[in-house]
Amino acid sequence: MSYLAALVLGVVQGLTEFLPISSTAHVALAARVLGLPDQGMAAYTAVIQLGTLIAVLAYFARDLWQITVATVGALLRPRDLGALLSPRAGEDPATAERNLRARLGMFIVLGTVPIGLCGVAFKKLIEHQLRSPAVMAGSLIVLALVLYVAERVAQHRRGIDSLGLRDALVVGGAQALALIPGASRSGVTLTAGLLCGLRRDDAARFSFLLSVPAVLAAAVFEMKDAVRSPTLGQHGLGMVLVGTAAAFVVGYATIAWLMRFLRTRTTMPFVVYRLLVGALLIVLVVTGVMK
């Protein structure tokens, strides 16, 4: 791998991690175009996700700090934890805001459990058998259709302040599907949020906040494998740093753009794009260009 290839992969990762179009599929496609072997790509992708993780931390720094403080405060008052798991009417604004932050903190933790358990249980399956263009094509197409249905049937009325335990578990459960290459972590969680009735930008906001523990865990667990991977060659650490830096810069810009986009527009362009990329992958598989 050259530094130019590492830069390209970082840009692709940063651009596609937060758009509901599957970063795994696009990084895999970019690697094939660059002539890189698939071996080690799963580990490399997991580590350069640190760049997109830092982008989320930077963009939502204030939210994450307030959520952390409120959650720690709630844990120090265990008698109040049960009441915090669902919104309550009649609270004064300051208390309602503090309780919302504490709820979000607990929901992020609970919502991360499914993907954590599935990631450990199916690690080898995900990194090997499922990393095929055919699986990615199927995931892109099927979940594009699910997102289309969500857009058509969802009410788009609820704000993140109405988020309840059931909603958090639904979105967290959906996040586990992101382990299937081509599914898109942001895509499945955004879709689940829409089906729960959230507005598009609020569904995206919770999706991004929910990604923090999962992406951090994946990067930490894969770090040693990525640095030692034959794909990275002699200057593996340098490649990781270049890819991570590019993923951060592009990822931050992508978050800012997507949050503005979803306030006034639908996800239909992403549905169409997923269908086109999925169809392209099918053609490449059928013609033998990709296996």
Please give the average per-residue pLDDT across 59-79, as a whole number.
88
Q: What is the pLDDT of residues 133-148, one digit of tens each?
A: 889 999 999 999 999 9
Q: What is the pLDDT of residues 214-247, one digit of tens each?
A: 888 877 776 666 656 665 554 467 888 899 999 9
d(CA 90, CA 167): 22
Residue 172 in any domain: the answer is yes
Residue 182 in any domain: the answer is yes
Nearest to 26 by CA among 285, 288, 289, 281: 281
Strand-pairing partners, residue 198, are 158
225, 230, 234, 240: CA torsion to nearest 10 = -50
Residue 194 in any domain: the answer is yes
Q: What is the pLDDT of residues 90-111, one digit of tens each?
A: 667 777 788 889 999 999 999 9
Residue 291 in any domain: the answer is no
Domain count, the chain: 1
Nearest to 108 by CA among 175, 58, 191: 175
Distances (CA, A) of 290 to 56, 191, 279: 33, 29, 13
Residue 238 in any domain: the answer is yes
**Predicted pLDDT at 227:** 59
**Predicted pLDDT at 234:** 47
d(CA 103, CA 202): 15
Q: Other C-beta atoms within 10 Å of 79: how many?
A: 6
Range of the domain at 114: 3-286
Q: Other C-beta atoms within 10 Å of 280: how many?
A: 15
